[in-house]
Copies of this chain bind each other. A is one copy, B any other.
């Protein structure tokens, strides 16, 4: 990438994640977007990219490009929605970066939004989530999104001979991290006993392995580096990569790894010219505990089958050698699906500019975020760096 055209994050904004009974898609989007615009010093916006997965089903509303532009007084500005299941947010960020790199847009506003509670339509949220899996070969036969992830968990546990406790370390850390994070959804600690005794959702998946359902929106202002005003908090996006895998799980050779996540990581590292050892902070997609572990392995941070030891060791704590999800991740910060990837990158940008408040870790320079769509069928990795 030509350095002057390189995309930088100039502004960040998001809502609290919760069941927002009184807030619509419009309200959530505009709160996050206006905060990000203000944080960036209200630059002229050349295009908008909305990350969202399920508004058609859950809210009876598509055409979110137009809706979001209008909600912040920017009708007229080019605007589209990008969908890549649970990775819609990071997909929107990546295509916004491509828009900036094209030379045609100096500034692109990214808004990730999802309204999963108080849905207006006949479908329940489980049906909406299941559209991330393969309708013809999985959902038609009764599979739900959690049941598919339970199969992955079972395969992973069997491959590496893991006990139920081994999966508890990640959600326990996530809940611990979220306690003091104002925008987090589940701000209470859990312990191993609570984890082990939490109800089975789909054997062996327990309640505390699963991210909650919630509403939220996050936004970023992404600009060409040479067009962003001088600011204390510009963060460079120095690499990104994405990859797909088969939609249905039965076509994959090995359920105990995420091939698309490995490929996306390789591409992002190659663009950034970095190696996994260069990461100072990591955002992983822990929609289910096992997926969080598979993320750490695909990122090259831990050996395969050893992610639980890494989390248990304390190295992933805020004060550890390589903090993971200091805001609580999908499990405890929350997982409004199409917004999640934008939350991850927004949180990274705040960490890298020492603006993360109570969750701030010490002096990170390079951060990475992994956002996973479907059961690993579409993965996006972004690598961010403090501007020198």
Query: Hey, which bits of chain A sit against chain B, CB under 8 A?
Result: 1-2, 24, 26, 53-57, 59-67, 69-70, 74-85, 91, 94-95, 97-99, 101-105, 120-123, 127-128, 130-136, 139-140, 241-247, 251, 259-260, 263, 373-374, 377-378
- Of the A-B pairs whose beta carbons lie under 8 Å apart in the complex, a sample of 20, sorted by A's number, is A2-B103, A53-B62, A54-B62, A56-B131, A63-B84, A63-B85, A63-B132, A70-B246, A70-B247, A75-B244, A76-B243, A76-B244, A76-B259, A78-B94, A79-B244, A80-B242, A98-B98, A98-B102, A121-B123, A122-B122
Residues in B whose Cβ lies below 8 Å from that of A241: 78
Complexed CA–CA distance, A128 and B56 (Å): 8
Option from B55, B91, B103 in Cβ contact (under 8 Å) with A80: B91
Complexed CA–CA distance, A243 and B251 (Å): 41
Residue on B with the closest CB to A50? B83
Residues in B whose Cβ lies below 8 Å from that of A135: 59-61, 120
Complexed CA–CA distance, A374 and B69 (Å): 14
Contact A123 B122 (CB under 8 A): yes
Complexed CA–CA distance, A70 and B248 (Å): 9
Contact A75 B123 (CB under 8 A): no
Residues in B whose Cβ lies below 8 Å from that of A76: 243-245, 259-260, 263
Contact B101 A378 (CB under 8 A): no
Residues in B whose Cβ lies below 8 Å from that of A53: 62
Contact B66 A245 (CB under 8 A): yes
Complexed CA–CA distance, A373 and B61 (Å): 13
Complex copy number for this chain: 2
* 5 nearest CB pairs, A to B: A101-B102, A62-B131, A66-B377, A63-B85, A78-B242
Residues in B whose Cβ lies below 8 Å from that of A263: 76
Contact A65 B84 (CB under 8 A): yes
Residues in B whose Cβ lies below 8 Å from that of A378: 63, 65-66, 79-80
**A81/B80 contact (C-beta < 8 A), A65-B378, A103-B101, A122-B123 known:** no
Measured CB to CB, the closest approach of chain B to A107, in angstroms, equals 14
Option from B2, B63, B94, B140 in Cβ contact (under 8 Å) with A373: B63
Measured CB to CB, the closest approach of chain B to A341, in angstroms, equals 12
Residue on B with the closest CB to A120? B135
Residues in B whose Cβ lies below 8 Å from that of A132: 62-63
**A66/B98 contact (C-beta < 8 A), A56-B131, A81-B82 known:** no
Residue on B with the closest CB to A62? B131
Most buried by B among A55, A136, A374: A136
Residue on B with the closest CB to A271? B104
Option from B57, B80, B122 in Cβ contact (under 8 Å) with A95: B80
Complexed CA–CA distance, A128 and B120 (Å): 13
Complexed CA–CA distance, A359 and B354 (Å): 62
Contact B245 A75 (CB under 8 A): yes
Complexed CA–CA distance, A139 and B251 (Å): 40
Residues in B whose Cβ lies below 8 Å from that of A245: 66, 75-76
Measured CB to CB, the closest approach of chain B to A250, in angstroms, equals 12
Most buried by B among A61, A105, A134: A61
Residues in B whose Cβ lies below 8 Å from that of A244: 65-66, 69-70, 74-79
